[in-house]
Amino acid sequence: MHGPHHNHNLACSLKVQLVVLAVPLSNQLAQAFISMGVQHVVSFGYESFVRHPMLIPRIQNLISNFCLRFYKKLFANMINVRQAFDQTVYECYESDFGDIIEKLQ
C-alpha cells in the first residue's frame, strides 16, 4: 500500500516529531517529511550560494554550527522545538549568517 495516506500513517506510527536535514538544498526533501505528517522539519536552502563554490565549506560549517546550537537549546534548556529554532536562527544570523550575506552582496 503506497500513496500519501500510507506515508502519513507511517510517520504517525513511528511517532516522528522532528527531522533535521543538515545538508544544503534540502528544502524539497523536507516537503516529503511534511507530507508524511512530521510535525517539525528543519531544512536548508542556499540555492543562491551554489554559484559560489568557494563558499561551500563555509556553508557546511554554518549548517553544522546551527545544528549544534539547536540541539543544545532543545535538550539542555528543555524548551519546545519552535523556541529552540527561533533562538538558534537569531543567534546564527547575528554571528555567522550575516558574514556570508555580506560576502555575497
Cβ-in-10-Å burial (0-12, 13-18, 19+) of 62 comes to: buried
Helix, strand, or coil here: 20? strand
pLDDT over 90 (residue 68): yes
The β-bridge partners of 18 are 40
Q: What are the pLDDT digits (tens) for 2-42?
A: 444 455 555 556 688 899 988 877 888 889 988 888 889 99
pTM of the model as a whole: 0.71
